[in-house]
Amino acid sequence: MQSYLMLAGVLFVVGIFGVITRRNTIGILMSLELMFNAANINLVTFNNFVTADGLSGQIFSIFIIVIAAAETTIGLAIVLLIYRNWKGIDSDCYGVMKW
Amino acid sequence: MDIGILSWLIIVPLLGMIVVMFLPKNNKWAIRWTATGFATITCIQSFWLLWDYYVNYSGSAAMAYVEGPFEWIPTLNVQYLLGVDGIAVPLLALTGLLSLISIVASFNIQIRLKEYFAFFLLLEAAMMGVFVALDFFLFYVFWEIMLVPMYFLIGIWGGPRKEYAAIKFFLYTLFGSIFMLVSILLLYFNSEPHTLNILEHIQNGSNLPYVLQMVCFIFFFIAFAIKVPVWPFHTWLPDAHVEAPTAVSVILAAVLLKMGVYAMLRISWPMFPEALRACSTYILLLGLIGIIYGALVSMAQKDLKKLVAYSSVSHMGFCMVALAAWSSEQAMAGVMFQMISHGLLTGALFILVGVLYDRAHTREIAAFGGLGSKVPVYTALMVFFAMGSLGLPGMSGFVSEFLIFVGAFGVLNQYLVGIGVLGILLGAAYLLRMVQHVFLGPFNETKWGGLTEINVREILTVAPLVVLTLFLGMYPKPFNILISETMQNLITLMAR
Amino acid sequence: MTEFAYLIPLLQLLSFVMIIFFLRWKEKVSSGLAVTMSVAAWVMSVWVLIETICKYIGAHGAHVEPFEITYYLTVFPKINLEIGILVDALTAMMLLVVSTIGACVQIYSLGYMRGDKYFSRFFAYLSLFLFSMFGLVLANNFFMIFIFWELVGLTSYLLIGFYFEKKSASDAGKKAFITNRIGDLGFIIGLLLIGTYAGTFNYREVFDAVSGGVFPPEVLVVAAIGLFCGAIGKSAQFPLHVWLPDAMEGPTPVSALIHAATMVVAGVYLVARGMDIFVGSADAAFVVAAIGLITSFMAATIALTQNDIKRVLAYSTVSQLGYMIMALGLYGYDTANGIHSPGYYAGTFHLMTHAFFKGLLFLAAGSVIHAVHTNDIREMGGLLKKMPKTGWTFLVASASISGVPLTAGFFSKDEIVAAAAHHPVFYFFTLLIAFMTAFYMWRLCFMTFFGKPRDAEKFDHAHESPATMTGPLVFLGVLAVIGGWVGIPGMTGFSEFVFHGEPYHTHVDWVNILIASSVGLGGIYLAWLMYLKKAISADKIAQTFRPLYLMSLNKWWFDELYDIVFIRPILTLGRFLWTFDARVIDGLVNGVAWFTLFWAEMKQLFDTYVIDGAVNGSGWLVSNLGQALRYLQTGRVQFYTLFIVLMIIVLATFRMLPTGTWLLWTLTFLCAALLLGLIGRRTVTNTAHTESEKQA
Amino acid sequence: MTDPSEVGIVFWVLSTVILVSAVMVVSLRNIFHCAIFLILTLTGVAGIFVTLNAEFLAAAQVLIYVGAVATLMVFGIMLTSDIASRRIEMTNQKAGVAVLACMVFALGVLFLIKITTKAGAGVWQTATEPLPADNVLTIGKQLMTEFVLPFEVVSVLLLAAMIGAIVLARREAS
């Protein structure tokens, strides 16, 4: 169990790192997916080792997968829009949210 | 849970409001007719209720069509509890009818049509709510909701001093509501288990200590008296009436003023019998002052609408006299008659004044003269309602005033009630003075030559009022049967 | 037929509704309908009268139960509102009077109102009036009589103000209505007392309660006087008589129908109807008699000097009504004292005959006015030749009212004089009034129909009126003579039909007859001397008794008095109260509002300098700090994410630290935040550079 | 029921693949390559699921992530960045700070995991019962009974997301 959780933790941190550092917006999205997967691994692990009398962990994972899919869709759509408006998807370029 | 007719009475106008809000802003036709449609449904419902109540329930004093109690806010023991009896049913019908009429009468509103009708339907829902609520919380909520659309209706579509009038109306009523809230809380914390059910409080009211009864009674009285309005809380009324658009004046006079009296009958009168006994002479005095004072001030008015507004003060004074004579069946029947009759007559008078104002753009009594030859149908209608208002037999006003006096004379100080009879004389004086100055005498052809006769839509708005006024005046028996059992029950409660 | 008596008023209502709503535009049809209905009512009334008489004959002096039906309007344990029909002798007589005059006036109006702008409306109003009047007469309880009492008041208002474009007419209508309402106040008080003590409004039950001693005596007096107040208003008795002369602004047929023959006698009818109550309280009955006498005398003196033909007739009406009231009052007073008096019979009998001849007088006067287009008798003269039918009928009616032997007025007046015979003061004044009546009536006759024309132009244009107008005149002229023959003294007739308590058996009292008729004839003779023979100069008398003359001419200054004493004060009071309302009560409200605002203002000052000072101080601090911290808001999501991670780390670190050192760490944390802000700022500047480079 | 201490060789292989390719995903310059490695990572996670007795989830992972999401990513990449030509810096200036922070964070997380899963820590009660054998069936049943409301909500959300994406990505009809 410990190993599984550690795998998830590291994967999560990698994801965070990606989110913080990627310049490409699509890259950020990918990193997000990594974080989602880390969370899923965690859930399934707990389901397997701790609350094995039910399947709520797995079901939650299913929902997360679905929501991740939705999120990706929207995210990509937004990326497309940004691309159209700024002719580029580098996250540094659109610092318009400041102040 | 099933949604009963009473809930529908509230829901339908609300639905109407929502639908109206979603209509395109520029489609005036659709907005008007949607609002009219929903108001018509509510009106039909309320009249069906009247009929059904008359057929099935008028023989008993118990609450009919009760919905609930459903838990609403369980921690406070707030319930959703609706029900009607003989005093609420006619007022519901009055509300339904006059809302419809007012909506039809406001077809000539031009600016911000959508908001206007939405507010109007919200107002209607709230009014219906007040008349059917049997839980203090619910009652209070509806009572307060009513203020909001009213405030905007006066404040946006009103006359030149609309802001002043709207604020004054709002603050005045809110001032009263605070007293009501305090009183409700007092009752709540003095009941065991804590409850907000009005009916339970009525049952237990006479067990309260005298001082508490007195305090609650007076607080409730202030709250309701402002709405009635009882002298000296009446000064919001002329301003609000004069500045409000026609249809709002109609609703204000015909329904809102009735709420005060209704609330007294529903809540404070049967709930605190001892306090009532102690106060009834003072209530009588206030009523008498209202009658005479309102009539005399009406006589001094130069503005048509203001005259009608002050006449309301006078007419509601009759209600207070009747309420002071709570132990008499006649007076209690009289107060119901007076409420309905005043609603019909004053509503019609406001509509007619509005009709004239639309054409002439002035309400100055002195500016007119001899209109009788130019607009005979309009004149006939106006004279008809003026006559009804001054208590001409054959119309509803007479029945109510007569019943009130018969009842009050039997149980109250006869000298004081005798003074009240003067109100009938003064009523004749100011109304005839108005009729003479506006419709009789020489006609100024150059000034008013272009005046047009009342049109079919406007006639249709007042036609039901004509019919009902005559019906109540000539055949009061069914109405009396409708309310008598409830009234008997109330009198028994008050006489505890 | 009696069972269908309710049809009599309802037919008139039908006529009114039909005309107002459907037939207004068709003048011929609407007038035809109205006339038909009134004639039908006349036929039915006669029928009812005959049936009632038969009933009385069949009873052979035994008590006759009147016909009565009741319908409840409301149901209460005590005091119901009800409507119903009561037909007894008094009702039958009144029905006949009202329907006769009503039918005559309607027919007459066909001619008189021809070409009027509101021809149909006039007939509608007349129908409405007849409806109300029949209802009033047929009522079986005080509540219902009050309803119709008010309705006749309304129609009177409408008809007086018929020429509403004339200010004087609309003024007169208003005055009539309001004056009547003043009387009605008393009426209502009376009704309320009756209702409260008797628990019912039904005549018979109320009278039973009175005789059963249900009423305390003082209450009964007040109730009786209250009822009489209604009569004072409606029958134009002193002090509320002022409306009737002004009511002559209405069309002349209206004056004849409403303000001479029918509506104004409603007061008399009420007193007669409620006679049990007056009999029960002698004081009230005496008040009635006294008011009647005062009215009668006052009106007679005023009539002496008026020059408007209709006004003379109006004051004459007031005077005659006072006569009837006085007779009824005396009857009540005498009966209460155990004397059997002819007053009741005399009053009601005079009511009937007066209706005939006064209706006729007005119609004839209308015919004259129609011909010469003026009301002023000083512009008339010698009209008898020009309009013989009108003239002769007028003379017959004048003879009747003056009590010339064998005319209707002779018999009825005779009985009134007889009723007053026990009371010297009343007797004296009654005779004096009879004398004055004869004098002013014949002054009118002589100035109008005899002598030389004073206004040649008007005289030349004068012509006899059409048959629709003269027909009713002749019919009423006949009635004005033979109408009184039903009450010839010593014969069975009116007195055994209309009575209160026991029937009064008349007997021939030659002394009385002689005195009464000689007084009347004396008045006529004096008028002849003054106005036809000019043996006595009227001007000279007027000069000699100038104050009295002025008093009479100015109608005892009642209008001016009321104006000063009542109308102005009330209007002023109204205005004052309005000011009071606007200044004091509203002032109070606005004052509270002002004070609240003032208080708010004060608080605002406090807020601005004290609280806001503190707030601004901290605000200044915060904003300066924020100036630094705002660099954290780079607008880049990734930076935020990084920050979140850092913060998680920081917080987790805090969590693990010993509790005491948190303050130190927080400060460190803030410093770190500021530091990061500065980093962020650098980044932003860099980005800005990049962007500008890109654009370049 | 696998013993917590006993981790098979499969796990090690899978986790190595996952972590390596994850690092590739966040560090490679060519975004297209990143996508390829993302697919690899996701497949690895699916394998992990299989070892955790979550066969259905594994299938869903492969289908949705590998099949749909990753493909979507690839499409997005091709639509937006002119991948072939552009060679830009794949990480920004924050990389240094980020590396530091992430290190600390990772250490913290690992430390937490260590102390909480330590035998006798008693933070989590280890399950005694094995997972139900018929996993897929149970998931299906529970989705349609106990979790039907979230299920419906999620489906509505998905629909909304779809519509939203269409609206957002729609070309202005200019």
| Candidates D94, D101, D104; nearest CB to C638 | D94
Which residue matches tokens 């399947």? A55
Rounded to whole angstroms, the Cα distance separating B253 from B237 reads 9
Which residue matches tokens 């005077």? C319
- What does the pLDDT read at residue C680? 57
Which chains pack against C, by 3+ Cβ pairs within 8 A?
A: A, B, D
Rounded to whole angstroms, the Cα distance separating C402 from C388 reads 21
CB contact under 8 A, C73 and B433: no
What is the tens place of the pLDDT at every residue in B303-352?
888 888 888 888 999 999 999 988 888 889 999 999 999 999 999 999 99
- What does the pLDDT read at residue B99? 92
Would you say residue C312 has pLDDT above 90?
Answer: no
Rounded to whole angstroms, the Cα distance separating C291 from C322 reads 7
- What does the pLDDT read at residue B125? 92
- What does the pLDDT read at residue D91? 53
What is the tens place of the pLDDT at every residue in C22-35?
877 888 888 888 88
Which chains pack against B, by 3+ Cβ pairs within 8 A?
A: C
Query: Residue C687: which pLDDT band, with cuts at 50, 70 and 90?
Result: low
Which residue matches tokens 């003579």? C481
| Candidates B393, B425, B428; nearest CB to C147 | B393
- What does the pLDDT read at residue B28? 85
Token pair listed for C652: 């987790």
Rounded to whole angstroms, the Cα distance separating C499 from C331 reads 11
CB contact under 8 A, D104 and C638: no
Quote the minimal CA–CA distance from C663 to chain D in Å.
23
**What residue in D sits closest to C686 (Cα-Cα)?**
D93
Contact status of D166 with chain C (Cβ, < 8 Å): no
- What does the pLDDT read at residue C627? 64
- What does the pLDDT read at residue D83? 47
Query: Residue B36: which pLDDT band, with cuts at 50, 70 and 90?
Result: very high
Say which residue, C453 or B53, is predicted with more confidence.
Answer: B53
Quote the minimal CA–CA distance from D158 to chain A in Å.
6
Q: Is B194 helix (H, G, I), strand (E, B) or coil?
A: coil
Q: Is B81 helix (H, G, I), strand (E, B) or coil?
A: strand
How many CA atoms lie less than 13 Å away from A18 in the CB half-sphere?
32
Restricting to C residues 185-224, those with a Cβ less than 8 Å away from any Cβ of B are 185, 188-189, 192-193, 195-196
Angle at C233 between CA C231 and CA C237, to 5 degrees: 80
Rounded to whole angstroms, the Cα distance separating C516 from B419 reads 46
**What residue in C sits closest to A92 (Cα-Cα)?**
C636
Max Cα–Cα distance, chain A, nearest Å: 53
Cβ-proximal residues to C664 (8 Å cutoff; 6+ apart), any chain: none
Alpha helices in C80-166 (DSSP H): 89-112, 119-138, 142-160
Set of chain D residues whose Cβ sits within 8 Å of the Cβ of A28: none
The phi, psi pair for C403, rounded to 5°, reads: 80, 30
Contact status of A78 with chain C (Cβ, < 8 Å): no
Question: 3-state SS string over D86-99?
Answer: CCCCCECCCHHHHH
Set of chain A residues whose Cβ sits within 8 Å of the Cβ of D65: 33, 37, 65, 68
How many CA atoms lie less than 13 Å away from C401 in the CB half-sphere?
34
Rounded to two decimals, the pTM is 0.73
CB atoms within 10 A of CB A28: 23
Q: Are strands B78-84 and B64-73 parallel, antiparallel or unpaired?
A: antiparallel
Domains located in chain A, CATH noted: 2-97 (1.10.287.3510)
What is the tens place of the pLDDT at every residue in C498-535?
777 777 777 777 888 888 888 888 888 888 888 777 77
Nearest to C284 by CA among C334, C221, C231: C221
Rounded to whole angstroms, the Cα distance separating A97 from B5 reads 53
Nearest to B95 by CA among B252, B255, B241, B312: B255
- What does the pLDDT read at residue C696? 44
Among A82, A98, A99, which would you mutate to test the C interface (most chain C Cβ atoms within 10 Å of its Cβ)? A98
Which residue matches tokens 């946006």? B156
Sign of CA dihedral B92, B97, B103, B105: negative
| Candidates D97, D98, D105; nearest CB to C648 | D105
Rounded to whole angstroms, the Cα distance separating B442 from C167 reads 7
Which letter does DSSP use for residue C464 in this model? Answer: P
D–B contact (≥3 CB pairs within 8 Å)?
A: no
**What residue in D sits closest to C647 (Cα-Cα)?**
D101
Rounded to whole angstroms, the Cα distance separating C154 from B347 reads 22
Quote the minimal CA–CA distance from B76 to chain C in Å.
34
Break chain B into its structural domains and give their ranges. Answer: 274-496
What is the tens place of the pLDDT at every residue in A41-83?
988 888 888 776 777 888 888 888 888 888 888 888 888 777 7
B287-291, C435-439, D3-7: segment of lowest average pLDDT: D3-7
Among C634, C637, C642, C694, which would you mutate to test the D interface (most chain D Cβ atoms within 10 Å of its Cβ)? C642
Q: Write the single-letter amino acid at D20.
A: V
Q: What is the DSSP string of C212-271?
A: TT-S-HHHHHHHHHHHHHHHHHHTT-TTSTTHHHHGGGS-HHHHHIIIIISGGGHHHHHH
Set of chain C residues whose Cβ sits within 8 Å of the Cβ of A27: none
Rounded to whole angstroms, the Cα distance separating C496 from C61 reads 8
| Residue B22: Cβ-neighbour burial (10 angstroms; 0-12, 13-18, 19+) | exposed
ipTM surpassing 0.85: no
Rounded to whole angstroms, the Cα distance separating B376 from C120 reads 13
Q: What mean pLDDT value characterizes chain A?
A: 80
CB atoms within 10 A of CB C605: 11
Nearest to C207 by CA among C289, C136, C144, C142: C142
Quote the minimal CA–CA distance from C585 to chain A in Å.
55
Percent of chain B with pLDDT over 90: 22
The phi, psi pair for C490, rounded to 5°, reads: 85, -10
| Residue D168: Cβ-neighbour burial (10 angstroms; 0-12, 13-18, 19+) | middle
List Cα–Cα distances, C322 to A76, C232, C598, in angstroms.
106, 9, 67
Distance of CA B230 to the CA centre of its chain: 13
List Cα–Cα distances, B45 to B7, B42, B96, B372, in angstroms.
11, 5, 8, 39
Which letter does DSSP use for residue D121 in this model? Answer: -
Nearest to B13 by CA among B117, B114, B90, B98: B117
Query: Residue C59: which pLDDT band, with cuts at 50, 70 and 90?
Result: confident
Q: Which residues pair with B82 in a beta bridge?
A: B67, B133
Percent of chain C with pLDDT over 70: 91
The CATH fold assigned to D1-91 is: Four Helix Bundle (Hemerythrin (Met), subunit A) (1.20.120)
Would you say residue B95 has pLDDT above 90?
Answer: yes
What is the tens place of the pLDDT at every residue in C635-667?
667 777 777 887 777 777 776 666 666 667 777
Rounded to whole angstroms, the Cα distance separating C80 from B109 reads 46
